[in-house]
Amino acid sequence: MALRTLDSLGSLAGKRVIVRCDLNVPLKDGVITDDGRVRASVPTLNALIDQGARLVVCSHLGRPDGEPNPKYSLEPVAQRLSELLGKPVAFARDTVGESAQEAVASLEDGDVAVIENLRFNPGETSKDADERGAFAAQLAALGDVLVSDGFGVVHRKQASVYDLAEIVPSAAGFLIEKEVDVLDRLTEKPERPYTVVLGGSKVSDKLGVIEHLLPRVDRILVGGGMLFTFFAAKGFPVGKSLLEEDQIPTVTRYMETAEATGVDLVLPVDAVMAASFGADAEHVVASANALEETPFGETGMGLDIGPETAKIFADVIRSSKTVFWNGPMGVFEMAAFAAGTKTVAEALTEVDGLSVVGGGDSAAAVRQLGFADDQFGHISTGGGASLEFLEGKKLPGLEVLGWEQ
């Protein structure tokens, strides 16, 4: 079955439309530091406003553990949404209570209200289907149909993502439709050469995607903290660098599989070693097989790929027709260890083909480093959801909308 899209819902003029967005943005002292996910929700919202629908926008933010917590309020997001939509956006101070009911009852055609953080209610993330269903029924009372557009949570069986879609007529918004289209292109007959760039801290977070993609790609580039487990598997000392010793047998098998199947598994040839984990830490570049031969000896830790590796990775990326990147190459939040990530991002902007930034920290990194979203083919809004899609896993939030992978 194909994904149900907005067209399947018919005319929505005058109807109360619950829009499940992913507005889970980073906040610092109540100020949004990256509004990428809010901006990504705007095309669907504008299309519904133009139809004359009455919008009830809902989302989670952070992990408030089923209880109201001002730190995780969606009020700053509602204010930013108002600026982006160019119109007032009402804000309800609860999820399904009196404030939400009043806000929804006050909506006129084309109006927008945001209800408070869904995760303030324990039913949203409950493992108990009855508890989730009860909360979904309360949400359903606020609207006539559901437009699901929060791609970042489609891998979760949660009340607003899964159970609600079984109660009221439901369809995917433009964002989910686009995400599925792009990720489907990465798994079904991608243009070649096809390169996957993996980084981030732990190799254990990427086991499934490596396993699934090894037979499907031409090159895999490994950076970030996870590279040190690969180094250890090759017998290289890694000092105090991040290391998952229990994964050494697994990455050894991956390297053997890559060699046997002709996949080019490209590991760094150098790394930036630091005296300690800190923005001002003394640091030097060391060869892959000599990471402990620095002034820091066995206490040094790797915090970025080295400049020679960055150049090699960039050349491979630029020569590719399809590139998927998930996970920064180093501790990009610190300027001294951001060069590898910036070089990889720059190379992705120069790909003559499809370049996809796989959400999460990678998306945050490209924006923090000064790149614009439109410099890439696509920036995913869902890191975990993107990886699970590429692993071939069933995603409940897509299956309930008719998608079959």
Q: What percent of the chain has pLDDT over 90?
A: 85
pLDDT at res. 181: 93
Q: What is the distance between the alpha carbons of residues 351 and 355, in angstroms, rounded to a whole number?
A: 6
Q: What is the distance between the alpha carbons of residues 225 and 235, in angstroms, rounded to a whole number?
A: 17
Q: What is the distance between the alpha carbons of residues 362 and 343, in angstroms, rounded to a whole number?
A: 13
The DSSP H or E segment spanning 208 is: helix 207-213
Q: Is 361 annotated as a binding residue?
A: yes
SS3 helix, strand, coil % of the chain, rounded to 5?
45, 15, 40
**Considering the chain, what is the average pLDDT of its residues?**
95
The average pLDDT across 194-203 equals 92
The average pLDDT across 174-193 equals 92
Is the predicted pLDDT of residue 346 greater than 90, yes or no? yes
- pTM for the full predicted model: 0.88
Q: Is 80 annotated as a binding residue?
A: no
Q: Provide the annotated active-site residues.
A: 37, 202, 360, 384
Nearest 5°: CA angle at 189, between 171 and 21?
A: 25
Cross-strand bridge partners of residue 378:
356
pLDDT at res. 1: 59
pLDDT tens digits, 12-37: 999 999 999 999 999 988 899 889 89
pLDDT tier for residue 113 given thresholds of 50, 70 and 90:
very high
More confident residue, 368 or 137: 137
Q: Is 295 exposed, middle or buried (0-12, 13-18, 19+ CB in 10 A)?
A: exposed
Q: Is 61 annotated as a binding residue?
A: yes
Q: What is the distance between the alpha carbons of residues 24 and 35, in angstroms, rounded to a whole number?
A: 9
Q: How many CB atoms lie within 10 A of CB 331?
A: 25
Q: Is 360 annotated as a binding residue?
A: yes
Is the predicted pLDDT of residue 165 greater than 80, yes or no? yes
